[in-house]
Amino acid sequence: MSANLPKQRNLWFEKMMAIIATVNLGLVLFDLSYIPWRNFYLRRLPQITHLYDSVKGIEPHRETDNYLVTVNTLKHQVSQTGLRSPQVETQLAELRRLSSDLIETNPFAAVGKSGTLEKIKNRMRDHIHQESAKRSFATFWSQAYLSQKGWYKEINFFDKDIAPLIATNYYRHIGENGEFIDNFWIIDLPFVILFSLDLLARSFYIKRRHPGFSWLNIILWRWYDLLLLIPFCRWLRIIPVVIRLDQAQLIDLKSVRQQANLGIVTNFAGELTEVVVVRVINQLQSSIQRGELTHWLSQKPKQQSYIDINNLNELEAIAGILVQTIIYQVLPKVEPEITAIIHHTIDSALNQSPIYRSLQGLPMVGDMQTELSKQLTNQIVTNLYNALVKTSQDPVLAKLSSEFMTSFSAALGSQIKNTNILPEIQSLLLDFLEEVKLNYVQNLSTEERSQILEQIRKPRTQVTVEPVVSSKSSSVISLREKR
């Protein structure tokens, strides 16, 4: 029980630090979203904008703020003296002047909100049904228009569709470095100090457990914690936060890690396979170009650097195994087909004989021909198979066959070398290998990764294969041992 206490304490500490890092990441994401989403915060959570505008160096813009103040003054004046009073006409004239200045100076441009001014102009044009935005505002802020259309209706339109857009404009202070004021570092500094102390403590702990490690290796051990300290690209803190949450067992990223590892391994395996196979093909092409084709055929190494690992002629051994397999396993299975072919051949030969065709008209000759061809076919197949079996089991014939293969390989290599067909064969082989490299090897890298991953994720089934040993297969093994 006492041994588990340090682990539990460490886990609680990891959970606490992971939660603090998550809170810090939330503040970072809110700070990054504040300027693009300030209109939303202003409409839905105005209290937040009142508090956070100072962090971003934001204050109300004098021109647009004065415009809205003038509108409120007009409302108060209308309620006091009525729409037709001289005081109201003075306020309307001031609003017409401010509207013209608003369009000409564009106070929205300084903070990248020129689109908001265009939206204001378009809404006023559509409402007044005029092409000019200035004339539309001049018409709107007139006693004649407001009296005709109705004061309350028109001022409600302005309060609903125009005033909220004007209110979104602001002025943002610029620092001596030419950038907008941003005091988020004051909020972020306590977190950075805490994460720095945490990284320092972990580094000393790792150094005590691994004295041979350099400080650089120790820092790189916790490389992701460095992202919590940098004052730029703060959105990268999502990486250490996710890692800490996983280490604290607050989230489970096992499946995500497995998927990422499989993707990396699959891509690496595809590239590695392509490199290896291309290198092998290039080696084969280089060997062919050096004229080693005849030495492969004769199984005689060109230089002393050729390495023979088993003192065995592999081509002869492979040929012997194939012969044993064909005699004892393949021929018995295809015997009916062989019999049918030979039977058809005998019948065709007999039918082509003029004497036999003249005898076919006699009674019983047709049945005798069928029976004779069947017996002859069976006798030929049986004799051939027995001859092949005796040949494979006869040590003298086996030795003669081996000598024949050796002489045949030597004669073939010598004949190829002494004639003009070797360059043609080499050229064809080089072209063939190049086609393999272009059509198959390079396609390995374009294979669907999802299919490979699906095959890897499939549960592997245990397949038990029982060895089958017979006298025929043992003879194949004994043939290799004799050689």
Q: Choose among 172, 148, 155, 126: nearest CA to 68.
A: 155
Return all residues near 287 (Cβ < 8 A) that are at least 6 apart. Answer: 293
Domain hosting 122: range is 58-172
Return all residues near 316 (Cβ < 8 A) that are at least 6 apart. Answer: 402, 405, 406, 483
Alpha-carbon gap, residue 22 to 191, rounded angstroms: 11
Tell me if 283 is assigned to some domain: no
Residue that the structure tokens 């245990």 belong to: 462
Can you give the pTM of this predicted structure?
0.57
Structure tokens at 156: 């409600």
Amino acid identity, position 372:
L
User: According to the model, what pLDDT value does residue 53 have?
Assistant: 94
Tell me if 147 is assigned to some domain: yes
Tell me if 331 is assigned to some domain: yes
Tell me if 42 is assigned to some domain: no
Return all residues near 188 (Cβ < 8 A) that are at least 6 apart. Answer: 24, 27, 28, 231, 234
User: According to the model, what pLDDT value does residue 482 have?
Assistant: 39
User: According to the model, what pLDDT value does residue 2 have?
Assistant: 44
Q: What is the pLDDT of residues 425-460, one digit of tens each?
A: 777 777 777 777 676 665 554 455 556 556 655 654
Tell me if 463 is assigned to some domain: no
User: According to the model, what pLDDT value does residue 23 have?
Assistant: 96
Alpha-carbon gap, residue 459 to 101, rounded angstroms: 74
Tell me if 389 is assigned to some domain: yes
Alpha-carbon gap, residue 130 to 125, rounded angstroms: 5
Structure tokens at 187: 């909020």
Q: How many CA atoms lie within 13 A of 211 on its CB side?
A: 0
If DSSP states are collapsed to H, E and C, what string results for the chain?
Answer: CCCHHHHHHHHHHHHHHHHHHHHHHHHHHHHHHHCCCHHHHHHHCHHHHHHHCCCCCEEECHHHHHHHHHHHHHHHHHHHHCCCCHHHHHHHHHHHHHHHHHHHHCCCHHHCCHHHHHHHHHHHHHHHCCCCHHHHHHHHCCHHHHHHHCHHHHHHHHHHHHHHHHHCCEEECECCCCCECCCHHHHHHHHHHHHHHHHHHHHHHHHHHCCCCCHHHHHHHCHHHHHHCCCCCHHHHHHHHHHHHHHCCCCCCHHHHHHHHHHHHHHHHHHHHHHHHHHHHHHHHHHHHCCCHHHHHHCCCCCCCCCCCCCCCHHHHHHHHHHHHHHHHHHHHCHHHHHHHHHHHHHHHHHCCHHHHHHCCCCCHHHHHHHHHHHHHHHHHHHHHHHHHHHHHCHHHHHHHHHHHHHHHHHHHHHHHHCCHHHHHHHHHHHHHHHHHHHHHHHHHHCCHHHHHHHHHCCCCCCCCCCCCCHHHHHHHHHHHHC
Amino acid identity, position 473:
S
Cβ count near 61 (within 10 Å): 21
Last residue of a domain, one of 419, 439, 463: 419
Return all residues near 96 (Cβ < 8 A) that are at least 6 apart. Answer: 137, 138, 141, 142
> In degrees rounded to 5, what are phi and psi of residue 172?
-120, 130
Structure tokens at 245: 């949450």
Return all residues near 289 (Cβ < 8 A) that are at least 6 apart. Answer: 426, 430
Q: Domains in the chain: how many in total? A: 2
Alpha-carbon gap, residue 314 to 292, rounded angstroms: 17
Residue pair 102/64 in contact by the 8 Å Cβ criterion: yes
Residue pair 350/373 in contact by the 8 Å Cβ criterion: yes
Last residue of a domain, one of 403, 419, 435: 419
Tell me if 279 is assigned to some domain: no
- The bridge status of strand 170-172 relative to strand 58-60 is antiparallel
Per-residue pLDDT 10s for the chain (483 aa) are 444 545 666 889 899 999 999 999 999 999 999 999 999 999 899 999 999 999 999 999 999 999 999 999 999 999 999 999 999 999 999 999 999 999 999 999 999 999 999 999 999 999 999 999 999 999 999 999 999 999 999 999 999 999 999 999 999 999 888 889 999 999 999 999 999 999 999 998 888 888 888 888 888 888 899 999 998 899 999 999 999 998 888 888 877 767 766 666 666 666 666 677 777 777 777 777 776 665 655 555 444 455 666 666 666 677 677 777 777 777 788 778 878 887 777 777 666 666 565 555 555 555 666 666 677 777 777 777 777 777 667 777 667 766 776 776 666 666 666 666 667 777 777 777 777 767 666 555 445 555 655 665 565 444 444 444 444 444 333 433 333
Q: Choose among 76, 97, 103, 188: nearest CA to 142.
A: 97
Cβ count near 195 (within 10 Å): 21
What is the dihedral sign for C-alpha 181, 187, 190, 196? negative
User: According to the model, what pLDDT value does residue 196 have?
Assistant: 94
Last residue of a domain, one of 148, 172, 196: 172
User: According to the model, what pLDDT value does residue 310 have?
Assistant: 63
Q: Choose among 50, 95, 104, 89: nearest CA to 69.
A: 95
Tell me if 72 is assigned to some domain: yes
